[in-house]
Amino acid sequence: MLVPVIMAGGSGSRLWPLSRQLSPKQFLPLVDSEMSMLQSTLGRLQGLEHEAPIVICNEQHRFLAAEQLRQCGRGDAAILLEPFGRNTAPAIALAALQATQDNQDPLLLVLAADHLIQDIPAYHRSIEKALELAGQGCLVTFGIVPTQAEIGYGYVEQGAELAAGCFAVNRFVEKPDLETATAYLDSGRYLWNSGMFVFRASRYLQELKRFVPAIHAACAESFAEASRDRDFIRIDAERFAACPDDSIDYAVMEHAENVAVVALDAGWSDIGSWSALWETAVKDEAGNASKGDTFLLDSKDSYVHASHRLVATVGVDNLIVVETKDAVLVADKRQVQNVKQVVDALKRAERPEFQSHREVYRPWGKYDSIDSGPRYQVKRITVEPGAKLSLQMHHHRAEHWIVVSGMARVTNGSKTYLVTENQSTYIPVGEVHALENPGVIPLELIEVQSGSYLGEDDIVRFEDRYGRVEGVVS
């Protein structure tokens, strides 16, 4: 019995401006234009016999995760919601506790949601080897066969060969300097540490309890008090707050006995930066990779991504150019690791661009902030068929709704009525209201907000079918 565990937390800040706090890289179609990284990770499981997956993400990404799972036919997945990040050791412990419900003790295949793997048959062969070792009681990690002296990854030193392509782990080592990484590569004994694992759920919990009992106790207590609503398993925040922050490598893998590594040579990348995305992309004769509406003249070795308009380059070399509706990044490809500093600066300045795109997804649909200024904001709102915004009110703003297409059922104080295409309605400040799409096609409307404060947190919810609470932007 195999249960995939997909870790879908993280912010992916080095891939700003596409990746944002509320829509990080694992939920974006960075490589496959049709599927997000999360969906591609699940798709690679096809051909392996396995049970319903467990997906671990944080509270603010819950609806995005649920919708993407539904889209790719994995609505059977259990979605564990961490109240806040505590690194990989606690996250995997929560998944192991979920997997061992009903006296089950499956093998867990722990995967990151934001990795690229291009050779699926080779990937499956390595998983089968790992499953055999894990079935014998091993804690198994995957080591990527290195292609260069890389200083951005940790390494695993191979020990005795256990089977073809499978080795005992001699030691785990930190990210090295270039001279050390070159020596590792030349020796042929070192693999990149991938952060993917296979082991029996009970074995992991046993070793975690042995080496870091505080993590085990906090996870067990918070999981025991978890609540379940709709698609989600909500871990108890008060008890989880006591959990130490630690990675699985530090907490368990570096200390446990009977640890093995399976060499994986399958076109792997963690897509950890724009340069990594350029390296894996299809390139033209000049070494350029591009996506979207682009025109590259006398340019070479560059990556150009256009999301919403034409982007043209002339005479550039070794650049990253990424355009979104509300931000443009231009960076030297050799310095893309510093993009995170831009995100940190935006966060300190309390600018919204670090957190969300102009277009924001909600469980009922999405909205696009078209324009704003002192005391006004204009949004284009899309409500999916059968979906409904919460029954709510605002203390500081009034709203005008103009239906562009579809039909709206509007609750406005004590009245409920329909608004159809080319009609409009007005919601005064402080009035209790709701918006619903009773039709079979998406409802499109323009909302004009006016008032002294237009923040998303100016909301009092009275009823909400999606489990959201007052004052929380979600």
3-class secondary structure, 95: helix
Same domain, 418 and 377: yes
Domain presence at residue 350: no
Strand partners, 198: 109, 140
Domain presence at residue 328: yes
Q: Exposure string (b/e) for 274-289, b if CB count within 10 Å is 16 or more?
A: bbbbbeeeeeeeeebb
Same domain, 305 and 434: no
Domain presence at residue 349: no
DSSP of 264-286, one letter per residue?
E-S-EE---SHHHHHHHS---TT
The predicted structure's pLDDT at residue 231: 78
Same domain, 28 and 148: yes
Same domain, 82 and 43: yes
- Of the residues 252, 269, 286, the one at which a domain ends: 269
Q: Which residue has the tokens 């404060």?
A: 453
Same domain, 71 and 133: yes
The predicted structure's pLDDT at residue 210: 97
**Alpha-carbon 293 to chain mean position:** 26
Instruction: Give me the phi and psi of 322, to 5 degrees please.
Output: -130, 125
Q: Cα(385)–Cα(403) distance, rounded to whole angstroms?
A: 14
Same domain, 293 and 423: no
Tokens of 310: 């034409």
Domain presence at residue 108: yes
Q: Cα(189)–Cα(10) distance, rounded to whole angstroms?
A: 30
Of the candidates 8, 37, 21, which has an alpha carbon nearest to the alpha carbon of residue 269? 37
pTM of the shown model: 0.90
Domain presence at residue 470: no
Strand partners, 306: 323
Is the previous residue joined to 90 through a cis bond, with omega within 30 degrees of 0? no
Same domain, 102 and 117: yes
Domain that holds residue 262: 2-269
Instruction: Please state whether beta strands 116-117 and 424-427 pair in parallel, antiparallel, or not at all (unpaired).
Output: unpaired
Domain presence at residue 189: yes
Same domain, 416 and 323: no
The predicted structure's pLDDT at residue 471: 47
The predicted structure's pLDDT at residue 81: 96
Q: Residue 122's domain is classified under what CATH number?
A: 3.90.550.10
Q: Cα(332)–Cα(338) distance, rounded to whole angstroms?
A: 10
**Residues 112 and 195 sit within 8 Å (Cβ to Cβ):** yes
Same domain, 264 and 286: no
Q: At what angle do helices 88-99 and 201-211 cross, to 10 degrees?
A: 140
The predicted structure's pLDDT at residue 470: 52
**pLDDT values of the chain reduced to their tens digit, one per residue, 474 residues:** 999 999 999 888 999 999 999 999 999 999 987 899 999 999 999 999 999 999 999 988 998 999 999 999 999 999 999 998 899 999 999 999 999 998 899 999 999 999 999 999 999 999 999 999 999 999 999 999 999 999 989 999 999 999 999 999 999 999 999 999 999 999 999 999 999 999 999 999 999 999 999 999 999 999 999 998 877 999 999 999 999 999 999 999 999 999 999 999 999 999 999 999 999 999 999 999 999 999 999 999 999 999 999 999 999 999 999 999 999 999 999 999 999 999 999 999 999 899 999 988 888 999 999 999 999 999 999 999 999 999 999 999 999 999 999 999 999 999 999 999 999 999 999 999 999 999 999 999 999 999 999 988 899 999 998 877 654 444
The predicted structure's pLDDT at residue 32: 85
Q: Residue 436's domain is classified under what CATH number?
A: 2.60.120.10
- Of the residues 269, 297, 323, the one at which a domain ends: 269
Alpha helices in 4-119 (DSSP H): 37-43, 62-71, 88-99
Domain presence at residue 346: no
- Residue type (1 letter), 410: V
- Of the residues 244, 269, 294, the one at which a domain ends: 269
Lay out the sheet containing 328-332: strands in order across: 289-291, 303-306, 319-323, 328-332
- Residue type (1 letter), 274: W
Domain presence at residue 24: yes
Of the candidates 323, 193, 302, which has an alpha carbon nearest to the alpha carbon of residue 254? 193
**Residues 287 and 304 sit within 8 Å (Cβ to Cβ):** no
Tokens of 354: 């670090």
Q: Cα(335)–Cα(352) distance, rounded to whole angstroms?
A: 24
CA 417, 422, 427, 432 dihedral sign is positive
3-class secondary structure, 461: strand
Same domain, 249 and 283: no
Report how many domains make up the chain. 3
Q: Give the chain's radius of gyration (CA, Å).
A: 24
Same domain, 236 and 136: yes
Same domain, 336 and 446: no
The predicted structure's pLDDT at residue 469: 61
